[in-house]
Structure 1
Amino acid sequence: MGTVFYEGTHRGEFIEAELPDNLSRDSVLILSGQSLKAGHVLGKILVGATAVAVAAAGNTGNGVMGAITVGAAAANGIYQLVIVGAAANAGVFEVEGPDGKIIGTGNVAAAFNASGLQFTLADGATDFKEGDRFTITVSAGTAKYKEWNPASTDGSQNACAISYDAVDATGGDTPGVIVDHECRALTGSLVWFSGATTNQIAMGLSQLATHRIKGV
């Protein structure tokens, strides 16, 4: 019997339809330490970002924002912190992400940690009132892509793209091409993390759909 050869997945094989002139694709950085296949479902992290908080003009409370730590799960853009519950020497706030979705609820004078943002909003001599707010601008981060896994907490738990071709990034961050919007993808040609269950795959497809990547 002769040698049996197995043909691997071709680049772009998962694409049933996409925008003309390759407009569904983007050139990105693939995070080091990975070996991806064409059709690999990806999430995104943010590396090296900074954040600046500014109190809204007209705030009643005069507490100040402490140092902000920006983690990989954060996104570039403007976050809104709004006081939703006033209390003496305390208070409750919500934080809304750049996409308009609430990422978490916190308490004045207590550490907040959600979706890649960590900070403490200090109580001031004058208490905050409901409606007082801060803008938190996250910028200068570098987006990097890695294998999607719903168990991650660094941002890559949100499926947002598909690797167009195989990428060997085991030796360091490596340029790659992704499909990240306006695409019909053949689900049978997609590559998921090892051990992905049927329910997890359904979750990943649902997340991709929010980027107008539809599994067919």
Structure 2
Amino acid sequence: MTVLTETLHAGGFIVSEANGMRSREQVAIGLSQTLVTAQVLGRAPVAASVTSSVAADAGNTGNGVFTIDATTPVLSDAKNGVYRVFCVEPVTNLGTFAVVDPKGVEIGRAIVGTTFSNQIKFAIADGATDFVAGDAFSVTVGIEDADYDYKTFDTTATDGCQHAAAVLFSAVTTDGSAKKQGVVMRRDCELRASDLTWPASNLTAAQKAQAIQELADLGIILR
């Protein structure tokens, strides 16, 4: 007798979700993937689609030039919104700037004359008039869901997919030449934890706990 095994139906892992389609999002699924229903996904920004701009504060004393990197202005983990870059240690012909992400978290320090590369990439050149404490720049990053490729969550990735960002509604397979549209659970829902598919290897208990928290931060609660 042939034994048939029924796989998880599309959305069969959902315990509850928001009214209408608010919990779901149609997204681009990256190339060369075989993804199953309820697979945990990460997402990688498509740099060519992301916009970025910079503006100096009107009251700045220093007149050095702030230049966004022309090739990779936005890196993995970049957030949608306004980054603030402000002088905290003025030095003659140099200076140190704190870089704060759109959520108000400091992500590093930039030194005048060197390249800063964490979430955003830029350099600040020294000008004829030195920077003083409080001189600042705003970097606006525009990222929408259409500007991401969704891929398998992988703690060894470096393109942003090392962070859990969604759970796949139904199975999708892509080849090496074309992306496909897929539906993911992105916010405000409860999902059955035992149904989720995680990476087959390289996932420690601490990493899984972190990923579960990342989903919770999006309003995706595992039951």
2:177 matched to 1:177?
A: no
1:204 to partner: Cα distance = 0.7
Higher mean C-alpha displacement, 163-172 vs 62-71: 62-71
1:67 to partner: Cα distance = 3.7
Which ranges in structure 1 are unaligned for 5 or more consecutive residues? none
The answer (yes or no) to whether the contact 1:71–1:154 under 8 Å persists in 2 is no
Q: How does 1:117-136 map to 2 (within 5 A)?
A: 117-136=120-139
- Per-residue CA deviations over 1:86-123 (Å, capped at 9, x if unaligned) read 111111112222233223222111111112x2221111
1:72 to partner: Cα distance = 4.6
Percent sequence identity is: 37
Equivalence for 1:159: 164
Equivalence for 2:54: 53
TM-score by length of 1: 0.91
The answer (yes or no) to whether the contact 2:79–2:143 under 8 Å persists in 1 is no
2:23 matched to 1:17?
A: no
Counterpart secondary structure, 2:20: helix
* Distance in 1 of aligned mates of 2:14 and 2:79: 27
| Match for residue 76 of structure 1 among 66, 77, 80 | 80
AA at the equivalent of 1:107: I
- Per-residue CA deviations over 1:103-152 (Å, capped at 9, x if unaligned) read 3222111111112x222111111111111111112236712211112332
* Distance in 2 of aligned mates of 1:14 and 1:84: 49
Counterpart secondary structure, 2:208: helix
* Distance in 2 of aligned mates of 1:159 and 1:65: 33
Counterpart secondary structure, 1:70: coil
TM-score by length of 2: 0.88
Q: How does 1:82-97 map to 2 (within 5 A)?
A: 82-97=86-101
Count, aligned residues: 214
Query: Cα distance 1:176–1:208, how it changes in 2: closer, same or farther (>3 A)?
Result: same
- Per-residue CA deviations over 1:70-92 (Å, capped at 9, x if unaligned) read 24512333221111221111111
Query: Cα distance 1:174–1:99, how it changes in 2: closer, same or farther (>3 A)?
Result: farther
The answer (yes or no) to whether the contact 1:14–1:190 under 8 Å persists in 2 is yes
- Per-residue CA deviations over 1:36-57 (Å, capped at 9, x if unaligned) read 1111111222111232211110
1:186 to partner: Cα distance = 1.1
* Distance in 1 of aligned mates of 2:136 and 2:156: 32
Equivalence for 1:7: 6
The answer (yes or no) to whether the contact 1:15–1:186 under 8 Å persists in 2 is yes
Equivalence for 1:197: 204
Counterpart secondary structure, 1:202: helix
RMSD (CA atoms): 1.7
